[in-house]
A and B are shown apart, each in its own frame.
Chain A
């Protein structure tokens, strides 16, 4: 494995270091290698998507990778009818689920990281392992609960999705809070900051990359979920995009081109989220640098 550390970048940003020439030379070569390797990885990850891209503009799309008979009709189909609404539903479903899971998860993670709570270690792990129960089985009792109280709709479905990613999010965020130095918090506490302030002003920003990663995890999990919304949402106008894809698959036909086009469109919101979070992470980075400085 090629381990290219963070050092070259750091060196490049601090030109005042004593062995400046050698370091910057090494940094340069290291950066070149890193760029090439990353480009190769990117290309490898792109390969399987080639079919998706070609099929999305192919009037005769099939399983094979072929030179497409160019058409825009697939994209028109992908956005027709209730398909656009389904993407909006996905955004609501995943957004609500992510907000619930991340806020609850961050609070719990902080307590589990910093407070003395009896049996917290085994408890946390037990909850985590229990998420090994296949969701397909888990959703059945939840369906019965929800149907008894008339909750078979979008928002309660988001709530359940939030709960399914909650153990992961708690665990992940706790890991990042563990890494935040306690003395930073201590300093804030000297200045009589309350728990809430410490969470939002000190620990939160420092653990932001971790919280962001957990939030994106929650979003992506909800974004791709199929069986849970299928079972827990009754009103067809509330179905998310992961289910709308099946509108292109019937008993006697598969509209490969439409599926590909819809999938590409369905990727856009996540990409936007990723771009947004990259900015957020950078903000967190600068801040943490300042605190640690």
Chain B
């Protein structure tokens, strides 16, 4: 290979060394004494900001509007700055690919980047990201983030990314169908069996309606698990997917078995949609349309449904949604409780950014009340700052869903953020996919698929069984 990659590599090595130095500086001096680099470039400077141009927000128009709105405020307080946007088109994988390549070279790495929660750990490990602890001391909003949200960007005590907005999960159901099936409203299942029972009742009373939506298969990748089976696993007695103590992935546990057993029951009784719908690309968005068309009764769904039905987003527009659609918390395996996954998008600063202070100022503006709530409404998120959860600007955008999902967030559980998680995702996707395709697949067989795949990819010394 010619000089360039080596150059890039040495530049990155330098960047990594810089990050390590910064890290050592922070931890060495006990934190409090460290002041964030306050130096603002004296002359004109460029701030490079990378974001997903179509995938993250609900429309491309709103994406542009939001980033330009933050940039305008930034320009007002930093007159010498030029904000250079790097919008990245494509889906989740494309954004991650392009971002990771941009980071490989010091000259192309964006100062501020919007990265998915599940990737923070990987980026931090690579030495691409700047620890933000020192900056966050001056940020009033940070202390109002729920602990779980703070922890998503924290690795070995260093905060590498701060949340832009979160997705969490709950059960959404058609109240009119429930009334027809004679299920008392409002519905709040106490156990997983209650969910199955309600779906069975729908199936018996309302033929032609798909009773239950459970994301399954590999088609939707990590998103499918986030809005699917992981909600049950994190709500089980053994919620661990990645065992941080041992550094191993859990491929068999009572909790995973319980969740797979729920899937197996639901599919065996014909309560779930067919594979044509479940395995489609972007299957996770199908319930939105099916609910609107009156084809679906219950979904293990996400917080963004309500926003998508509003006129502003129209994906699809469904003004009657608040009258028709009820919401209920996913119970834990033990009964009662709140089970939900958590995942969203975050802001991070490049480790070697020459304008780190300005980059943080940009993030600081992005996290202010107006911008944070706009982002939440336009991208279908719960804002991370708990002070915003009750503000009408947020709650009245998609009532009653926005307020409801905000209440779930502090109880939600994060999924792992390391390279091998995507292997586990593939294995679990194949396991639930096998159940969806052949409902006679037993829990043992599904576990064997998960275990076989993850062990085959990571090696036997990187997996474990919990009892």
Contact = CB atoms under 8 A, between A and B. Distances in A.
A144 interface: yes
Q: Which 4 A-B pairs have the closest CB atoms?
A: A253-B315, A148-B4, A144-B5, A147-B105
B380 A252 contact: yes
B187 interface: no
Interface string B103-120: 011011000000000000
A63 B279 CA distance: 12
A239 B89 contact: yes
A234 interface: yes
Contact of A60 (B2, B282, B316): B316
Contacts of B304: 251-252
Contacts of B289: 62
B58 A252 contact: yes
Given A144-B105, A247-B54, 20 more contacts: A60-B316, A144-B8, A144-B104, A145-B2, A145-B4, A147-B8, A147-B104, A147-B107, A148-B4, A148-B8, A148-B107, A234-B86, A234-B108, A243-B89, A246-B91, A246-B94, A249-B54, A251-B380, A252-B302, A252-B304
Contacts of B53: 236, 247
Contacts of B282: 249, 254
Contact of B1 (A60, A141, A236): A141
Nearest to B116: A251
A230 interface: yes
Interface in B26-57: 53-57
Interface string A198-234: 0000000000000000000000000000110011001
Nearest to A83: B60
Contacts, number: 106
Contact of A246 (B2, B7, B89, B308): B89
Interface of B: 1-5, 7-8, 53-61, 85-92, 94, 97-98, 101, 104-105, 107-108, 223, 276-277, 280-282, 284-285, 288-289, 302, 304, 308, 313, 315-316, 379-380
Interface in A125-182: 140-141, 143-145, 147-150, 152
Contacts of A248: 54
A255 B105 CA distance: 35
A109 to B, nearest CB: 28
Contact of B280 (A63, A144, A227): A63
A81 interface: yes
B8 A230 contact: no
Contacts of B284: 252
B97 A231 contact: yes
A288 to B, nearest CB: 44
Nearest to B61: A81
Contacts of A249: 54-55, 91, 282
B58 A250 contact: yes
A148 to B, nearest CB: 4
Nearest to A234: B86
Interface string A248-268: 111111110000000000000
B98 A231 contact: yes
Contacts of A246: 54-55, 89-91, 94
A230 B277 CA distance: 29
25 contacts: A63-B277, A143-B104, A144-B104, A147-B105, A148-B3, A150-B107, A226-B90, A227-B94, A236-B87, A243-B90, A246-B55, A246-B94, A247-B54, A247-B89, A250-B315, A251-B55, A251-B56, A251-B223, A251-B379, A252-B288, A252-B302, A253-B313, A253-B315, A254-B285, A255-B315
Contacts of A252: 58, 284-285, 288, 302, 304, 308, 315, 380
A141 B5 contact: yes
Contacts of A254: 281-282, 285
B418 to A, nearest CB: 22
Given A147-B107, A252-B380, A253-B285, A230 B90 contact: yes
B54 A230 contact: no
A230 B94 contact: yes
Contacts of B97: 227, 230-231
B320 to A, nearest CB: 16
Contacts of B107: 147-148, 150
B89 A230 contact: yes
A21 to B, nearest CB: 57
A139 to B, nearest CB: 9
A51 B225 CA distance: 29
Contacts of B302: 252
Contacts of B315: 250, 252-253, 255
Given A230-B98, A234-B86, A250 B8 contact: no
A230 B95 CA distance: 9
Contacts of B55: 246, 249-251
Contact of B59 (A60, A140, A243, A250): A250
Nearest to A80: B61
Nearest to B86: A234
A248 B91 CA distance: 11
B325 to A, nearest CB: 16
B2 A250 contact: no
Contacts of A81: 60-61
A229 to B, nearest CB: 9
A253 B451 CA distance: 33
Nearest to A136: B97
A62 B288 CA distance: 12
Contacts of B57: 250
Contacts of B60: 81, 247
B89 A236 contact: yes
Interface centre among B54, B61, B89, B281 (most CB of A within 10 A): B89
B464 to A, nearest CB: 32
Nearest to A143: B101
Contacts of A230: 88-90, 94, 97-98
B78 to A, nearest CB: 23
Contacts of A144: 4-5, 8, 104-105
A145 B60 CA distance: 31
A244 B57 CA distance: 16
Contacts of A234: 86, 108
Contact of A253 (B1, B3, B58): B58
B250 to A, nearest CB: 27
A142 to B, nearest CB: 10
A60 B293 CA distance: 10
A227 B98 CA distance: 9
A230 B52 CA distance: 12
Contacts of B285: 252-254
B54 to A, nearest CB: 5
A249 to B, nearest CB: 7
Contacts of A150: 107
Contacts of A255: 315
